[in-house]
Amino acid sequence: MRRRLALLVAAAMALVLVAFLVPLALLLRTAAEDRAVAAATAQAQSLGALVATADANSLRLTVEQANVDTAHPVTVFLTDGTVIGAPIPVTPAVRLAAQRGSFSVEHPGGREVLVAVQGLPAGPAVVRSFVPERDLRRGVTRSWLILAAVGLGLLLLGLAVADRLAVAAVRPIRTLAAVSEGLSGGDLDRRAPAGAGPPEVRAVAAALNRLAGRIRDLLRQEREAAADLSHRMRTPMTALRLDAEGLADPADAARMLEHVGALDRALTAVIEDARRERPAPECDAAAVVAERVAFWSVLAEDQGRAVRTALDPGPRPVAVAAADLAAAVDALLGNVFAHTDEGTGLAVSLHAGPGLVALTIEDEGPGFDPAAGARGVSGGGSTGLGLDIARRTAEATGGRLVVAGARVTLELLTDP
């Protein structure tokens, strides 16, 4: 925008300067021509007065002296055919001046000035003075260069002023863009300065600040609602704990209490995550995946599922909270247990590459429905949110989720 404003001002000023300087340059050229012609005419008229009053010798001496002192050659044509001064043949213009009076005429090399002297006894005489082209253009080139320098200076000055004005107009817009970028990155405390820029920019800044505040309020309400919903589950979980404690078999009771404890920890993590303004900046993907695979391996052993693992050793830092990554892994592994028959084996691998950590979960089942992956869409009678949780976790790092049949790959970027 800054460059466009400068180009606009430059174009407008160039048009104005051309409209002003071109006529002025032509006027200067015309003035120089008129000045040279006027000087030659005055000289010819002064000699014309001598033609009427002086004798031939005096007139010859005066004309020769004039030709020595001036750059304009002067010639006097008398009625009897005598030519005094520069040896110039009689031209048609000289004959015409003797008949009709004084005038000037253009020639390729300059301008011919003719002054007729009337009232002589022998008939009219003609004084001819010739102004060369260089005298007609004397000083014009210098004047044009001065005009060009003035025009260029004015153009540069206008561009400098336009650039300062453009900076003053663009700076608030850039500030708004930076604030918008910060808001899109999750920094809801960013605000645009309300008093900077023209009225239109100030209005946009005020609207952006109101929008940021409204987004913050809505997110806070959503977090509180999620925390409330999670807290409501503690009552049935307490009843479940009491039932587990009342089991006759101590081994079954211990196993159920362990599961209830894991559920309680998961609910606590959900509540804390819902109340947290910003997620943790990073976690060790290797540690999180290993812990969740170990958790699900217990259930896999009960169902007769073979679990093959190939996990690169840690640490493998990724830019996502540990709770979010654990939820994504649980969603993917939970899909395997929920939508495949008992005894169906699965493989979990975690490999790190340049700037990337890839988690791949593949089972021996039929694979995902082609419609699976869209939020709320499932081909197995579930809510359809599991893959969406995993996808949003990957996209939070700048990565992606790839579904290909029974293989799901969660790509997490280490430098989002």
What average pLDDT score do residues 236-253 get? 79
The amino acid present at 96, given as its one-letter code, is: L
The residues, ordered by sequence, that sit 6+ positions from 262 with a Cβ below 8 Å of its Cβ are 295
Task: Indicate the DSSP class of residue 372.
Answer: B
- CA triplet 23, 29, 31: central angle to 5 degrees? 100
Confidence of residue 105 (pLDDT cuts 50, 70, 90): confident
Residues 6+ apart with CB under 8 A from 210: none
Please tell me whether residue 111 adopts helix, strand or coil conformation: strand
Q: Which amino acid is at 330?
A: D
For residue 373, the model assigns a pLDDT of: 46
**Domain 280-413, CATH 3.30.565.10 — does that match?**
yes
Q: Which two tokens stand for residue 109?
A: 């090399």
pLDDT per residue as tens digits for the range 203-221: 888 888 888 888 888 877 7
pLDDT for res 1: 67
**Average pLDDT score over residue span 219-248:** 74
* CB-facing half-sphere around the CA of 181: CA atoms within 13 A: 6
Q: How confident is the model at residue 22 (pLDDT cuts 50, 70, 90)?
A: confident
> Of the candidates 387, 361, 358, 353, which has an alpha carbon nearest to the alpha carbon of residue 372?
387
pLDDT tens column, 44-79: 777 777 776 767 677 778 777 777 767 678 888 887
Could you tell me the residue ranges of all domains in the chain?
2-138, 142-230, 233-278, 280-413
The second-level CATH assignment, the architecture, of 2-138 is: 2-Layer Sandwich (3.30)
User: DSSP characters for 286-350?
Assistant: HHHHHHHHHHHHHHHHHTT--EEEEE--S--EESS-HHHHHHHHHHHHHHHHHHS-TT--EEEEE
Higher pLDDT, 351 or 190: 351
Q: Which strands make up the sheet holding 346-353, listed edge to edge?
A: 307-311, 346-353, 356-363, 407-413, 400-404
Buried b (16+ CB within 10 A) or exposed e, 307-335: beeebeeeebbbbbbbbbbbbbbbbbbeb
Q: Does 2-138 match 280-413 in CATH topology?
A: no
Could you tell me the pTM of the whole model?
0.44
Mean pLDDT within 120-133 = 79
139-181, pLDDT tens digit by residue?
Answer: 888 888 888 898 888 888 888 888 887 777 777 878 888 888 8
pLDDT at 189: 78
What letter does residue 220 receive in the DSSP assignment? H
The band of 274, judged by pLDDT with boundaries at 50, 70 and 90, is: low
Task: Of 129-143, 286-300, 397-411, give the lowest mean pLDDT range.
Answer: 129-143
Q: How are strands ordered across the β-sheet holding 83-85? A: 83-85, 74-77, 125-132, 110-117, 103-107
